């Protein structure tokens, strides 16, 4: 963990950088740009800075950080696809600490189904280094199969693309709704502090908000109150197109927390879905702990579905994390990982509960599968089919 002094100094640098960007833009930055800089400004943003981010010593925890069982089940799903293709490679996007990569590779090795190559597309140079260090320690004999990328691969490949909790970290646009006008929420400086500042939305944002309003049941008198605030991820279409483009044949698996559109933009969720994490404390204030906290927004899975379909994929499954893991026999993975060690079995059983219980990560988190030039059933998506909800 960074010392308090170093953290305060880092935060002050990020703040100064953001203030200079706001001033250079004439006193107002869209929230999307603000979030982009706060998270990813090279060397400064939350993901680019040097602090521990994931796990017990970081700010938040993810399914791979909770348990190796998540990666084991993902690996079993990958093995089905790799077997059906004859072989192939895996591209993981946004690999965090590197734990998911290590758990997937270790389980695939046990199954004699290693991918030809395991590529990691990671935006943060600091995390690329941490991932390499982690994999060097855990799986030194497999390191020559792993490569790190800072942009999507140029060579086409067959296999799979995986991303856990990356979609929620893509910068979002924020809007405020009125019956006869839409405003874009941005960030200005007031009395030396960041402050929300609204501007009339342009035609593109107004059109998107009208569609969201309609999808929420807005024209049927169940609509939003005046001043309803929420977010959407405008860049997900272009991003999905870019990162999935090299996959000639195979599957894409998205894991994240979020909802289909009709459940996302409900009138009661009138302050949006921004969630910020700092040392395992949740807040909804993106201006606090600047550069030191994660900023996320729930994923609108209907938007991800539109983006994935436009990128040329067929929807193969959409389910909860709990049903995904159960469909891949997480109970058998627990036995396999624990062997005859009863204490380890009890620890894994606790972790499985955290991954699967509805009040924990089981329902809020979803798994989504897309196929290109491949038609096959996927075991993780057989128990509960939520595709109709998209």
Ligand X SMILES: C[S@@+](CC[C@H](N)C(=O)[O-])C[C@H]1O[C@@H](n2cnc3c(N)ncnc32)[C@H](O)[C@@H]1O
> What is the contact surface with ligand X in residues (CB under 6 A)?
47, 54, 62, 64-65, 93-96, 100, 121-124, 127, 164-166, 169
CB nearer ligand X, residue 65 or residue 300 = 65
Q: Which residue is nearest to ligand X (CB)?
A: 94
Note whether 341 and 386 are within 8 A (CB): no
Closest separation between CB of residue 227 and ligand X, Å?
30
Q: How far is the C-alpha of 109 from the C-alpha of 111, rounded, in Å?
A: 5
Closest separation between CB of residue 130 and ligand X, Å?
9
Give strand ranges (E) for 15-137: 29-30, 89-93, 118-121
Closest separation between CB of residue 325 and ligand X, Å?
14
Q: How far is the C-alpha of 242 from the C-alpha of 83, rounded, in Å?
A: 26
Dihedral-angle region of residue 167 (phi above 0 means left; psi in -120 to 50 means alpha; beta otherwise): alpha
CB nearer ligand X, residue 62 or residue 319 = 62
Closest separation between CB of residue 166 and ligand X, Å?
4
Residue 186 CB-half CA count within 13 A = 19
Nearest partner of 166 among 227, 239, 216, 263, judged by Cα: 239
CB nearer ligand X, residue 54 or residue 201 = 54
Question: Can you give the C-alpha Rg of the chain in angstroms?
Answer: 21
CB nearer ligand X, residue 79 or residue 93 = 93
Taking the mean position of all CA atoms in its chain, how far away is CA 126?
Answer: 18
What tokens appear for 28 in the block? 């107002």
CB nearer ligand X, residue 169 or residue 292 = 169
Closest separation between CB of residue 184 and ligand X, Å?
22
- Sole residue written with tokens 């600091």: 126
Q: How far is the C-alpha of 380 from the C-alpha of 316, rounded, in Å?
A: 10
Note whether 240 and 308 are within 8 A (CB): yes
Q: How far is the C-alpha of 320 from the C-alpha of 317, rounded, in Å?
A: 10
CB nearer ligand X, residue 70 or residue 177 = 70
CB nearer ligand X, residue 80 or residue 122 = 122
Closest separation between CB of residue 129 and ligand X, Å?
12
Closest separation between CB of residue 104 and ligand X, Å?
11
Closest separation between CB of residue 80 and ligand X, Å?
21
What tokens appear for 100 in the block? 């998911």
CB nearer ligand X, residue 119 or residue 124 = 124
């Amino acid at each position: 963990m960074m010392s308090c002094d170093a953290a305060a100094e880092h935060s002050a640098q990020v703040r100064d950088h953001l203030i200079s960007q706001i001033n250079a833009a004439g006193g107002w930055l869209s929230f999307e740009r603000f979030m982009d800089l706060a998270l990813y400004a090279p060397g400064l943003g939350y993901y680019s800075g040097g602090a521990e981010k994931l796990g017990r010593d970081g700010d938040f925890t993810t399914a791979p950080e909770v348990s190796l069982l998540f990666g084991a089940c993902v690996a079993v799903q990958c093995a089905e696809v790799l077997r059906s293709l004859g072989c192939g490679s895996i591209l993981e996007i946004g690999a965090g600490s590197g734990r998911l990569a290590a758990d997937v590779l270790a389980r695939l090795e046990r199954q004699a189904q290693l991918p030809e190559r395991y590529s990691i597309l990671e935006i943060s140079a600091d995390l690329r280094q941490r991932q390499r260090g982690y994999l060097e320690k855990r799986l030194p004999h497999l390191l020559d199969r792993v490569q790190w990328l800072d942009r999507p691969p140029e060579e086409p490949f067959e296999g799979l693309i995986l991303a856990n909790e990356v979609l929620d970290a893509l910068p979002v646009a924020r809007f405020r709704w009125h019956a006869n006008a839409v405003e874009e929420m941005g960030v200005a400086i007031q009395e030396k502090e960041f402050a929300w500042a609204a501007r009339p939305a342009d035609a593109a944002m107004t059109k998107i908000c009208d569609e969201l309003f309609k999808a929420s049941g807005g024209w049927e008198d169940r609509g939003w109150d005046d001043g309803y605030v929420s977010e959407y991820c405008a860049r997900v279409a272009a991003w999905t197109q870019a990162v999935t483009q090299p996959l000639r044949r195979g599957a894409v698996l998205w894991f994240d927390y979020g909802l289909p559109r009709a459940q996302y933009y409900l009138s009661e969720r009138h302050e949006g879905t921004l969630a910020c994490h700092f040392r395992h404390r949740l807040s909804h204030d993106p201006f606090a702990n600047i550069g030191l906290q994660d900023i996320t927004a729930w994923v609108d899975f209907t938007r991800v579905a539109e983006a994935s379909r436009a990128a040329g994929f067929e929807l193969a499954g959409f389910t909860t994390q709990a049903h995904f893991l159960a469909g891949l026999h997480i109970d058998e993975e627990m036995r396999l990982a624990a062997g005859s060690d009863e204490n380890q079995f009890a620890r894994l059983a606790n972790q499985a509960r955290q991954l699967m219980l509805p009040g924990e990560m089981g329902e809020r988190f979803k798994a989504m599968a897309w196929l290109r030039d491949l038609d096959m059933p996927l075991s993780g998506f057989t128990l509960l089919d939520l595709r109709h909800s998209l």
